[in-house]
């Protein structure tokens, strides 16, 4: 079997679980937008934006470090696993001790301007502190499943997590109100504690799902052989802290706009629901993020395991070519069908639905930002394999500075449209910088002319489909088919050659 074909197979296995869990989760967007006003939905988006950043802090870059050191010390895998797990556990416990007693102050800082019950916000923060710590404990056991080549179990646990989360959401938001309103058995007891349309049930559902997932991972934790090496741990931490900063910078690029919107927007736009409108538009763009995340899950262990191969550079270049073809096709396909996808975002009435749909203009910008992000993730192999993780820090840091400075300047005047443009600018800048520095320090023979031609073609088609033909689904899909046929014709020899290899 060809190396590229093997990689595609591994990525597909991770992708199935990732797509299944994300698509199931995406249906919750429809549930939330039908249940909560844009202003309340904005609180949900703001909270999860902070969680994404803190997840990066608590994992401390150890996931990438774990894969690198398994490759570096092939005969000491138990020591690498022990060091990684103990480091994460220690950070999680320290975080809990430093934050739980200050939930009131944290709630004031995060959601101070947001209309609502402050006591509820404090409880939301406490729920999320538990979630963050429990999820951090699961990072290395999940990474071990990937390193051991067990994507089926990895995928099963991820899907169980999301199914529990969705089931509990439906229970709290739909089933219990139905039981109470129709006086079904047990309604009197439920009425004593149930709060209609309470946002906290979403966060409580997350906590229960995270706790159950960690319990299912305990067999992996029990297998831990205590082979602790202080010298190796110090070396691992030196490798991981630039990865940590790079990951935080990436999360800043991904989520800081959602954090800054409620702080920088005038109060009338917060009440109008601009934060929630933007968050709903971001959900459509997440369809492309699903593919990129699936690629990352398969790519990271694969790239490290093939680093010593003689033709590793050619393999990475070939994977980049197929990756760009895939992301540009998805980019075009999503815009071609945005008039269908928008129905996942639906308010409680026609006026509220129209309000959510007013933010669809962010989708093309966010999608191309994800295209740039995916290419950057693919390019980032050079500094991870050459132990030059400081460059990841520099690149992501520049992206973060752009995100913070430009959002600070432009959000008050242009609201969430500024955030969408800035997200694109930051990711595109990171992509270009990674390529330029990578070719100087760890050259990989990418087919730049072909790759750029696919990217430009997809941008032109998206512009025509969204802006010129006003999101006409028939014209959009006709352009998609033409693009797909052109791509297949261009790549036909390479594809046939790859399929023939065993």
Per-residue model confidence as pLDDT tens digits over 281-333: 887 887 788 778 777 776 766 777 666 777 878 888 888 998 999 999 999 99
Contacts of 27 (CB under 8 A, 6+ apart): 166, 344
CA 466 to chain centre: 25
> How many Å apart are CA 292 and CA 295, to the nearest integer?
5
Q: Check: CB of residue 99 under 8 Å from CB of residue 129.
A: yes
Instruction: Give me the residue spans of the domains in the chain.
Output: 3-500
Highest mean pLDDT among 225-229, 286-290, 403-407, 498-502: 403-407
Highest mean pLDDT among 52-56, 108-112, 263-267: 52-56
pLDDT at 82: 87
- pLDDT at residue 500, as a whole number: 60
* 88-110 mean pLDDT: 87
Question: Cβ neighbours of residue 439 under 8 Å, at least 6 residues apart?
Answer: none
pLDDT tens digits, 66-98: 888 887 777 888 888 888 888 999 999 999 999
pLDDT-derived band at 497 (thresholds 50, 70, 90) equals: low
User: How far is Cα 212 from Cα 195, in angstroms, rounded to an integer?
Assistant: 24
Give the per-residue pLDDT at 228: 76
pLDDT in tens, 195-249: 988 888 999 999 999 999 999 999 888 877 777 788 888 888 888 877 777 777 7
pLDDT at 380: 85
The residues, ordered by sequence, that sit 6+ positions from 474 with a Cβ below 8 Å of its Cβ are none
Give CA angle at 401 (397, 405), nearest 5°: 175
In the block, which residue shows the tokens 């946002």?
Answer: 199
Q: How many other β-carbons are positioned within 10 Å of the β-carbon of residue 178?
A: 10
Neighbours of 66 (CB within 10 A): 30
Distance CA 447, CA 450 (A): 6
HSE, CB side, 13 Å, CA atoms: give it for residue 257: 31
* Rounded Cα distance, 153 and 144, in Å: 11
Residue 176, C-beta contacts closer than 8 angstroms, at least 6 positions apart: 190, 194
**Residue 463 near residue 406 (C-beta atoms within 8 A):** no
CA 259 vs CA 46, 51, 246: distances in Å: 6, 11, 19
Lowest mean pLDDT among 16-25, 99-108, 251-260: 16-25
The pLDDT mean for the chain works out to: 83
Q: Which two structure tokens, joined as six digits, stand for 100?
A: 């739980």
Residue 1 banded pLDDT, cuts 50, 70, 90: very low
pLDDT for 386 equals: 81
Quote the CA–CA distance of 174 and 38 in Å, as a whole number: 19
CA 379 to chain centre: 18
Are 80 and 69 contacting, i.e. CB atoms less than 8 angstroms apart? yes
What global pTM score does this model have?
A: 0.70
pLDDT computed for residue 179 by the predictor: 92
Inter-axis angle of helices 38-59 and 274-305, to 10 degrees? 30
* Per-residue confidence (pLDDT) for residue 115, from 0 to 100: 60
Q: Could you tell me the sign of the dihedral formed by the alpha carbons of 382, 384, 388, 389, in that order?
A: positive
pLDDT tens digit sequence for 436-488 = 999 998 889 999 999 999 999 999 999 999 999 999 999 999 999 999 999 98
pLDDT at 493: 75
pLDDT of residue 3: 54
pLDDT digits (tens, 9 = 90+) for 151-165: 778 878 888 888 899
Question: What is the DSSP secondary structure assignment for residue 113, as one 8-state letter?
Answer: T
The predicted pLDDT at position 111 comes to 66
- Report CA torsion sign: 402, 404, 408, 411: positive
* Helical residues (DSSP H) of 36-117, grouped into ranges: 38-59, 62-72, 77-99, 103-111
Please classify residue 309 by burial: count the beta carbons closer than 10 Å to its beta carbon, then call 0-12 exposed, 13-18 middle and 19+ buried: exposed
**pLDDT score of 90:** 92
The predicted pLDDT at position 446 comes to: 92
Nearest 10 degrees: CA dihedral of 312, 313, 315, 320? 140
Q: What is the mean pLDDT of residues 103-118?
A: 73
Model confidence band, residue 355 (pLDDT cutoffs 50, 70, 90): confident
| % the chain with pLDDT above 70 | 89
Q: How many CB atoms lie within 10 A of CB 468?
A: 9
């Amino acid at each position: 079997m060809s190396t590229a074909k093997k990689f595609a197979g591994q990525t597909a296995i991770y992708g199935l679980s990732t797509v299944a869990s994300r698509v199931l989760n995406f249906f919750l967007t429809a549930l939330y937008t039908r249940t909560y006003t844009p202003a309340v939905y904005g609180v949900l988006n703001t909270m999860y934006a902070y969680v994404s950043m803190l997840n990066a802090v608590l994992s401390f870059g150890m996931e990438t470090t774990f894969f690198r050191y398994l490759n570096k010390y092939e005969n000491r895998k138990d020591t690498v696993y022990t060091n990684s797990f103990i480091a994460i556990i220690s950070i999680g416990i320290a975080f809990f001790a430093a934050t739980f007693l200050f939930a009131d102050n944290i709630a004031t800082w995060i959601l101070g301007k947001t209309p609502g019950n402050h006591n509820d916000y404090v409880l939301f923060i406490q729920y999320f502190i538990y979630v963050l710590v429990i999820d951090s404990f699961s990072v290395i056991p999940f990474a071990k499943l990937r390193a051991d080549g067990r994507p089926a179990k990895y995928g099963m646990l991820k899907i169980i997590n999301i199914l529990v989360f969705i089931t509990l959401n439906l229970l709290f938001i739909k089933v219990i109100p139905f039981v109470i309103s129709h006086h079904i058995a047990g309604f009197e007891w439920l009425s004593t504690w149930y709060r209609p349309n309470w946002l906290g049930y979403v966060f409580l559902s997350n906590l229960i799902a995270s706790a159950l997932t960690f319990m299912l991972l305990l067999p992996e934790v029990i297998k831990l052989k205590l082979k602790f090496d202080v010298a190796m741990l110090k070396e691992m931490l030196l490798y991981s802290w630039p990865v940590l900063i790079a990951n935080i910078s990436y999360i800043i690029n991904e989520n800081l706009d959602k954090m800054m919107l409620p702080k920088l927007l005038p109060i009338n736009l917060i009440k109008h629901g601009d934060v929630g409108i933007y968050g709903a538009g971001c959900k459509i763009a997440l369809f492309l993020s699903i593919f990129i995340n699936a690629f990352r899950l398969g790519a990271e262990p694969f790239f490290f395991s093939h680093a010593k191969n003689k033709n590793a550079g050619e393999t990475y270049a070939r994977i980049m070519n197929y990756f760009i073809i895939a992301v540009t096709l998805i980019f075009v396909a999503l815009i071609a069908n945005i008039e269908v996808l928008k129905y996942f975002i639906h308010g409680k009435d026609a006026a509220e639905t129209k309000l959510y749909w007013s933010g669809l203009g962010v989708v093309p910008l966010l999608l191309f930002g994800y295209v740039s992000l995916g290419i950057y993730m693919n390019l980032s192999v050079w500094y991870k394999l050459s132990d030059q993780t400081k460059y990841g820090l520099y690149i992501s840091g520049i992206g973060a500075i752009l995100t913070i400075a430009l959002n600070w300047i432009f959000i008050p005047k242009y609201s969430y449209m500024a955030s969408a443009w800035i997200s694109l600018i930051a990711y595109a800048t990171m992509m270009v910088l990674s390529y330029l520095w990578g070719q100087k320090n760890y050259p990989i023979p990418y087919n730049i002319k072909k790759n750029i031609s696919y990217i430009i073609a997809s941008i032109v088609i998206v512009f025509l489909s969204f802006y010129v033909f006003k999101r006409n689904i028939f014209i959009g899909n006709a352009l998609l088919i033409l693009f797909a046929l052109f791509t297949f014709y261009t790549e036909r020899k390479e594809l046939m050659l790859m399929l023939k290899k065993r």
